Structure 1
Amino acid sequence: MSKLVIVESPTKVKSIKKYLGSDYEVMASMGHVRDLPKSKLGIDVNNNFKLEYINMPDKRELIKSLKDAAEKSETVLLATDPDREGEAISWHLAQLLSLDLNQANRVTFNEITKSGINSGIKSPRTLDLNLVDAQQARRALDRIVGYKLSPFLWKKVKGGLSAGRVQSVALKLIVDREREIEKFVPSEFWSIDAKLLSGKKTFDAKYYGNVDDKKPAVISCREDADRVLNELTDADYIVSNVKKGLRHRQPAPPFITSTLQQEASRKFNFTGQKTMRIAQQLYEGVDVPGYGVTGLITYMRTDSLRISEEARAAATSLISSIYGNEYVPDKQRYFKSKNGAQDAHEAIRPTIVELKPEDAKQALSTDQYKLYKLIWERFIASLMTDCLQNTQSVDITANDHLFKATGYKVQFPGFTVLYEEGSDDAKNNEGALPDMSKGDILKLKKIVPNQHFTQPPARYTEPTLIKA
């Protein structure tokens, strides 16, 4: 008799069966097989919130096929996705197939590769009922909130709208931000920018205030700006202080679910849903020439920054061979996950570290290639050396007034030869300054007052809402 392995997605069936061989039958549950009824609440709130599950009507034939296959098999292994939802699906399958919950019939695959599959198959465990309870609590909240609030929205707003555990909180964040914007009263302020010449090189300096000011001066109106400009008439611009330093820019850590969604939105304008759909495809398996059908990334629902030592060693070897030993840190870089992070999975990383994006491009759709390249580059860059920048901060006095200028020049690019993280904020145009010394006399090319108004908080974008 063969062993039956049940996964969630039909895409994974082919990938996994290739590695397990003829002794195993692999079938897909196509997601959930049981759920709460649509015709009623389905929760007995007076009986410890007992959930009343029913077999999903569109899964009748599939459930019958799974039962028939289970009866013919010596062992049934539940290999649904390694998260709360997957654990709950396995629990429902165990109920339907009358499996003993005390037996070790649950297996998980952090990556759909030969080593990942073999490791999972060799390490069966019992179902994690705490994870199952967590998923059921979420499902109950979804139903209680949505079942009560959605009909209210249909009456008061329009049909087809829904309210839920996550939607409603996100909506409150958006509404609160909109109210902040509506209440916001802009305040006027002015800046003064000077374009100065040192030798043959020009650079920009910003007005700070009087030489004795501990904080930047606030110029609140045109009259105050004009007063400063008048006091600067015919002034000599002299370098009063130069501070030089070396700045280390560290690479960002490898992706977790939220940061992957944020970065894909910034760089490709992908929605969070689209990002996760494409990541699921890369995780479940793609037919790559020379590798066959194999998963290209580790499991994409994770908040852990942990990296396996095998992947770390492979990345270090790759960095050395492509860029040279100077791009490998003297001390290995380890990233700390946030408090409360679940450490069951690794960070999101390529499963075949040596498979460069260009080498996989022909096997991938345009969007799959974009996301794989993003994940691959972020992971490799995270284990490269810092970017080293020579910094220079210059104080310039003009009569009793002070201007400041800062700049940097890259001494060693480090990880930036491969990857630069996107940002939700305006870009800093800081560049290299001419080399200056205390006492240098500068030539004023132009001085410009600029009117500004304080801005209200920005409306949420998808990446900033995810981050919130």
Structure 2
Amino acid sequence: MSIDLVIVESPAKVKTISKFLGTDYVVEASVGHVLDLPKRNPKGVKKPVPGIDLENEFEPTYEPIMGKKKTLDKLKKAAKQSEHVWLATDLDREGEAIAWLLTEAMGLEPSKIKRVVFNAITKDAIQQAFQQPRDIDMAKVNAQQARRILDRIVGYQVSPLLWKKVAGGLSAGRVQSVAVLLVVLREREIRAHIPDESWSVTIRLAIDPSNAPQLITSWPEFMAQVDEKGKHPTKKRQNAWLAENGGLRTALYEIDGKPFKLECKSDAPRDLSNEIQQAAEAAGLTDVSVISTEDPDGKGPAQFKRELTGELQPGVEYSIDSIETKPSTTNPQGPLITSSMQMAASNRYSFTTNRTMRIAQGLYEGVSVPGEGRVGVITYMRTDSTHIAGEALTSVRNFIGKQYGDEYLPEKPKFYGSRNQNAQEAHECIRPTDVSRTPESLAKSLDDDQLKLYRLIWNRFVGCQMNGAVWKNTSVILKRSDKDTGAKVRTNGRVLQFDGHYRAVG
């Protein structure tokens, strides 16, 4: 009986894929690349960039990676004993290049090679992939080679300059070198920028006038508090405190029938002290003064730092002038791709990008699930595409209808475009391989970090196919009623009327 060889990149995939394919296949791992550009020139050769012929259309030269000889010999031996060699490396450009370099290193006959790709390590995905083998995609291979060659050229040409100008041991990369340039250019713009000047007036009111003295006393105490990072209350915490203590944040909106807008442009600076003083008095302050302090680093209107001080006029009151309500909808975000997954994990869990990708790799390659054995629970995690496969769309829509109800299910599936015009649309977004595997059902199969990231992926995927949340927005205009100064203030708020995708996302 003939045996076929299957080569994957990671040893962690071997056991899982072997289980799905059966005894007719032997699965081995290349453990990443087996060939790479040489780190230094051979004796007697003087090239500015080892492994790259700059005079011959940047032709690369590859050599076996140190320590990979044993792996390569094992793969060659297994290939000789096999009828076909299935190259099941990852489906991105890097995986395609690894597949091509394996054929070069092993000297494989083209008729013996079968290239297969899958974006999930599940039984259905693996078996479907092996029913649809294809040739190696040389366009992807060449794209990876171009990137690798640029990495080498930039690194070997620019790094020595860093050693001379900054410090030894530093390296320059293809991306980071340009990124540093962009940062420097932007910093120069910032330093050359002359800011405009604008003023806003915030007025905190007590809903019950008898409660005003208590608010006036306790507000400075609240604002003096600091959290564990030494930061004072955010605007969100301030608003929550005011709501809990019978207060309200408003902003000066209008004076004498004209919208309050006090500003001057950098190319036409002027002293706004008198105007802001008049606005503050109209709003309810007395004994107002503006203290100006020269800032030697300031430019234009920012040459002076201005601070307004004053005392609250006794008996200041505001009454409701108008109330306006209107609905609004907050639509769900699209499914996760690599960059948005890294950003979300960083914002929510303070994960580094390396930590996030390491966890995602484990979820993709497989975890032990009771009753299923070892199975991949998310799709491939290196992707810039928001595409969702048809069967996955059907599955998640069925799940939403049954789990949450028809009111959460849009009439049609939602589709999301990619900002990256070069996104590899054959790829999918990062999603659960089976939406019925809820985070709660996998809680005993995943460690803490895995569960956090899986929950993030699952929530985002389910949420992206749900109806948006509906809010009731209210805008209240209040006018000063104890004295006719023409001052009006506005406060805005909203109340959630239908939770929509928040039901899944939280």
Shorter-chain TM-score bucket reads 0.7 to 0.9
Query: Structure 1 residues 365, 171: CA separation in 2 closer, same or farther (over 3 Å shift)?
Result: farther
Q: Does 1:59 align with 2:46?
A: no
Query: Structure 1 residues 235, 109: CA separation in 2 closer, same or farther (over 3 Å shift)?
Result: same
Q: Which of the numbers 402, 418, 423 marks the counterpart of 1:321?
A: 402
Take 2:445 and 2:160, find their aligned partners in 1: how far apart are those partners? 46
Aligned to 2:217: none
Aligned to 2:278: 227
TM-score (norm 2): 0.78
404-413 vs 327-336, greater mean Cα deviation = 327-336
Q: Which of the numbers 84, 89, 92 marks the counterpart of 1:83?
A: 92
- The CA deviation at 1:139 is 0.5
Question: Runs of 5+ in structure 1 lacking a partner?
Answer: 421-468
Aligned to 1:71: 80
Are 2:199 and 2:262, in contact at CA under 8 Å, matched by a contact in 1? Answer: no
Query: Structure 1 residues 232, 352: CA separation in 2 closer, same or farther (over 3 Å shift)?
Result: closer
Take 2:24 and 2:258, find their aligned partners in 1: how far apart are those partners? 79
Q: Which amino acid aligns with 1:78?
A: L
State the secondary structure of the residue aligned to 1:57.
coil
Aligned to 2:114: 105
The RMSD of aligned alpha carbons is: 2.3
Q: Give runs of aligned pairs for residues 105-144 of structure 1, distance below 5 A.
A: 105-144=114-153
Are 1:304 and 1:347, in contact at CA under 8 Å, matched by a contact in 2? Answer: yes
Question: Runs of 5+ in structure 2 lacking a partner?
Answer: 42-49, 210-245, 265-270, 285-314
357-366 vs 297-306, greater mean Cα deviation = 357-366
For CA contacts below 8 A with separation 6 or more, give which structure has more relative contact order: 1
State the secondary structure of the residue aligned to 2:443.
helix
Q: Give runs of aligned pairs for residues 182-221 of structure 1, distance below 5 A.
A: 182-183=191-192, 190-196=199-205, 202-210=247-255, 212-213=257-258, 216-218=261-263
Are 1:211 and 1:397, in contact at CA under 8 Å, matched by a contact in 2? Answer: no
Q: Does 1:377 align with 2:463?
A: no
Aligned to 1:39: 40
Aligned to 1:434: none
State the secondary structure of the residue aligned to 1:105.
strand
Same amino acid, percent of matched pairs: 45
253-262 vs 239-248, greater mean Cα deviation = 239-248
Aligned to 1:255: 336
Query: Structure 1 residues 29, 238: CA separation in 2 closer, same or farther (over 3 Å shift)?
Result: same
Aligned to 2:105: 96
Aligned to 2:235: none
Take 2:426 and 2:168, find their aligned partners in 1: how far apart are those partners? 41
Take 2:167 and 2:280, find their aligned partners in 1: how far apart are those partners? 59
Are 1:378 and 1:419, in contact at CA under 8 Å, matched by a contact in 2? Answer: yes
Take 2:116 and 2:283, find their aligned partners in 1: how far apart are those partners? 75
Aligned to 1:267: 348
State the secondary structure of the residue aligned to 2:440.
helix
Q: Which amino acid aligns with 2:404?
A: Y
Q: Which of the numbers 365, 370, 379 marks the counterpart of 1:284?
A: 365
Are 2:383 and 2:424, in contact at CA under 8 Å, matched by a contact in 1? Answer: yes
Q: Give runs of aligned pairs for residues 396-407 of structure 1, distance below 5 A.
A: 396-398=478-480, 399-407=485-493
- The CA deviation at 1:157 is 2.1
- The CA deviation at 1:319 is 2.2
377-386 vs 168-177, greater mean Cα deviation = 168-177
Per-residue CA distance 1:332-391 (angstroms, 9 max, x = gap): 222223333220111110002111112212222221111111101111111112101011
161-170 vs 124-133, greater mean Cα deviation = 161-170
49-58 vs 71-80, greater mean Cα deviation = 49-58
Per-residue CA distance 1:33-86 (angstroms, 9 max, x = gap): 000100132111111110011111211111111100000000001110000000
Take 1:133 and 1:102, find their aligned partners in 2: how far apart are those partners? 22
64-73 vs 168-177, greater mean Cα deviation = 168-177
Q: Which amino acid aligns with 1:28?
A: A
Are 1:103 and 1:125, in contact at CA under 8 Å, matched by a contact in 2? Answer: no
Aligned to 2:6: 5
Are 2:252 and 2:260, in contact at CA under 8 Å, matched by a contact in 1? Answer: no
Aligned to 2:501: 415
- The CA deviation at 1:204 is 2.2
State the secondary structure of the residue aligned to 2:398.
helix
Are 2:255 and 2:279, in contact at CA under 8 Å, matched by a contact in 1? Answer: no
Are 2:196 and 2:263, in contact at CA under 8 Å, matched by a contact in 1? Answer: no
Query: Structure 1 residues 242, 66: CA separation in 2 closer, same or farther (over 3 Å shift)?
Result: same
Take 2:374 and 2:204, find their aligned partners in 1: how far apart are those partners? 59
Aligned to 1:391: 473
- Please tell me whether Structure 1 or Structure 2 has the larger radius of gyration of its CA atoms: 2
Q: Does 1:361 align with 2:443?
A: yes
Q: Which amino acid aligns with 1:349?
A: R
- The CA deviation at 1:198 is 5.9
319-328 vs 236-245, greater mean Cα deviation = 236-245
Q: Give runs of aligned pairs for residues 5-24 of structure 1, distance below 5 A.
A: 5-24=6-25
Q: Which amino acid aligns with 1:13?
A: V
Are 2:205 and 2:249, in contact at CA under 8 Å, matched by a contact in 1? Answer: yes
Take 1:17 and 1:101, find their aligned partners in 2: how far apart are those partners? 24
State the secondary structure of the residue aligned to 1:393.
strand
Take 1:227 and 1:90, find their aligned partners in 2: how far apart are those partners? 74
286-295 vs 346-355, greater mean Cα deviation = 286-295
TM-score (norm 1): 0.84
Are 1:8 and 1:29, in contact at CA under 8 Å, matched by a contact in 2? Answer: yes
237-246 vs 88-97, greater mean Cα deviation = 237-246
Q: Which of the numbers 145, 151, 161 marks the counterpart of 2:154?
A: 145
Are 1:3 and 1:74, in contact at CA under 8 Å, matched by a contact in 2? Answer: yes
Are 1:251 and 1:382, in contact at CA under 8 Å, matched by a contact in 2? Answer: yes
Aligned to 2:291: none
State the secondary structure of the residue aligned to 2:441.
helix
Are 1:91 and 1:127, in contact at CA under 8 Å, matched by a contact in 2? Answer: yes
Are 1:250 and 1:386, in contact at CA under 8 Å, matched by a contact in 2? Answer: yes
Q: Which of the numbers 146, 151, 164 marks the counterpart of 1:155?
A: 164
**Size of the alignment, in residue pairs?**
420
Query: Structure 1 residues 119, 210: CA separation in 2 closer, same or farther (over 3 Å shift)?
Result: same
State the secondary structure of the residue aligned to 2:202.
strand
Take 2:376 and 2:395, find their aligned partners in 1: how far apart are those partners? 17
Per-residue CA distance 1:175-227 (angstroms, 9 max, x = gap): 34444555566776543222346689653221134354457333976653332
Q: Which amino acid aligns with 1:345?
A: H
Are 1:211 and 1:400, in contact at CA under 8 Å, matched by a contact in 2? Answer: yes
- The CA deviation at 1:128 is 0.5
326-335 vs 215-224, greater mean Cα deviation = 215-224
Are 1:102 and 1:126, in contact at CA under 8 Å, matched by a contact in 2? Answer: no
